[in-house]
C-alpha cells in the first residue's frame, strides 16, 4: 500500500479504509507520546515507499510539534535529495507554525537502492560515493544545530567523526548541551564507547532498542546484518578498539 501511495496510484475502497486505520493508529501513538512528554522517531525506509511515509509524518508533525518536538522524521543523507528536503521541510514547518523533528542517518539500503535503480533503469537516488554522503551528513548536523530553536534533531550514527562534529559544534556555539532539541543516538549493542562517552560529557544520548515478538525481531536483525554493509565495518571498528585496549593493558 505504501508503494502504491508513493506512486500516487488510486487506492481501492478496501485499501482506503486500511490506510485510514494506519493513520488512526499512528495518530494514537503520537498523541500518547505528546501526553507522556516523550518523542516518537519514525524510521526511513526504501525510496519507493518514503514519500508515503513522509506524508504521514508531515501530518503528525504539523499536529503535534507546536509546543515541543514530539514527532521526528528520518532523513537518509546517502540520498542526494535529502539535504534540500531537510531545509525545505524546515521552511514549511516555520510557515505553518510548527517545529521540525529531524533524525538524520546515512541510510541502510544502499545496495538494494542501487540494484533496483539499475534493474528498472532509473537514476540511482544514492550519492556516488561515501565522501559525498559525509559532506551532506555534516551539513545536516550544522544546519540543525544552528537552527536548534526551531528544529529538534538527532544524530543517529556510529561514525565517531559525525558524533564528535556535532558535540564540538554545540560546545563552540556555546549552546546548552542538554537542550531537548539536541540529541545523539546509537543502536543497542553497538558503539557503546560513543554512547557512554557522550553521556559522560553531559550530552543527550539514547540507545535504539529493537524489540517485539522474536519471530519479527530476529528476521529484522538478520535483514540489518545482510543489508547494512556498514555492520561489518562497525564490528571491525569495535574489534580494533578492543585489541588496542588489550594491548594497552598488556593482556
The footprint of ligand FAD (CB under 6 A) covers: 43-44, 74, 76, 78, 105-110, 126-127, 129-130, 133, 156-159, 162, 185-187, 208, 228, 230, 233
**Smallest distance from ligand FAD to CB 76, Å:** 5
Task: Report the nearest approach of ligand FAD to the CB of residue 45 (Å).
Answer: 7
Smallest gap from Cβ 166 to ligand FAD, in A, equals 12
**Cell 536548534 maps to which residue?**
148
State which residue has the least CB distance to ligand FAD: 43
For ligand FAD, the closer of residues 9 and 164 by Cβ is 164
- What are the residues whose beta carbons fall under 8 Å from the beta carbon of 58, sequence distance 6 or more? 73, 89, 92
Given the complex with ligand FAD, which of 5 and 105 has the nearer CB atom?
A: 105
Query: Is 44 or 170 the residue whose CB approaches ligand FAD more closely?
Result: 44
User: In this complex, which beta carbon is closest to ligand FAD, that of residue 148 or of residue 208?
Assistant: 208
Minimum distance from residue 54 beta carbon to ligand FAD (Å): 12
Q: Which is nearer to ligand FAD, 15 or 45 (CB)?
A: 45
Give the C-alpha separation, 153 to 103, whole Å.
5
Q: How far apart are CA 88 and CA 68, in angstroms?
A: 20
Detail the DSSP E strand segments found in the chain.
40-41, 71-76, 100-105, 151-156, 182-187, 204-208
Find the shortest distance in angstroms from Cβ 234 to ligand FAD. 7
**How does DSSP assign 20-70, residue by residue?**
HHHHHHHHHHHHHHHHHT--EEPPP--HHHHHHHHHHHHHHHHHH-SSS--
Amino acid at each position: 500500500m505504501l508503494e502504491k501511495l508513493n506512486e500516487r496510484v488510486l487506492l481501492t475502497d478496501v485499501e482506503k479504509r486500511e490506510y485510514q486505520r494506519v493513520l488512526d493508529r499512528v495518530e494514537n501513538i503520537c498523541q500518547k507520546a505528546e501526553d507522556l512528554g516523550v518523542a516518537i522517531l519514525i524510521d526511513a525506509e526504501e525510496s519507493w515507499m518514503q514519500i508515503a511515509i513522509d506524508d504521514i509524518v508531515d501530518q503528525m508533525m504539523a499536529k503535534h510539534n507546536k509546543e515541543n518536538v514530539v514527532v521526528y522524521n528520518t532523513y537518509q543523507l546517502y540520498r542526494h535529495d535529502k539535504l534540500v528536503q531537510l531545509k525545505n521541510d524546515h521552511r514549511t514547518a516555520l510557515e505553518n507554525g510548527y517545529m521540525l523533528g529531524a533524525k538524520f542517518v546515512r541510510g541502510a539500503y544502499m545496495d538494494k537502492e542501487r540494484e533496483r535503480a539499475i534493474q528498472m533503469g532509473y537514476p540511482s537516488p544514492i550519492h556516488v560515493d561515501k565522501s559525498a554522503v559525509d559532506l551532506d551528513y555534516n551539513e545536516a548536523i550544522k544546519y540543525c544545530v544552528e537552527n536548534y530553536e526551531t528544529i529538534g534533531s538527532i544524530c543517529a550514527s556510529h561514525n565517531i567523526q559525525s558524533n564528535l562534529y556535532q558535540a564540538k559544534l554545540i560546545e563552540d556555539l556555546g549552546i546548552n548541551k542538554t537542550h531537548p532539541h539536541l540529541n545523539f543516538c546509537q543502536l543497542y549493542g553497538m558503539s557503546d564507547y560513543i554512547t557512554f562517552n557522550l553521556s559522560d560529557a553531559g550530552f543527550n544520548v539514547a540507545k535504539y532498542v529493537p524489540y517485539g515478538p522474536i519471530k519479527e525481531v530476529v528476521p529484522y536483525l538478520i535483514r540489518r546484518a545482510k543489508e547494512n554493509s556498514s555492520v561489518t565495518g562497525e564490528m571491525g571498528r569495535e574489534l580494533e578498539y578492543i585489541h588496542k585496549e588489550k594491548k594497552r593493558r598488556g593482556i
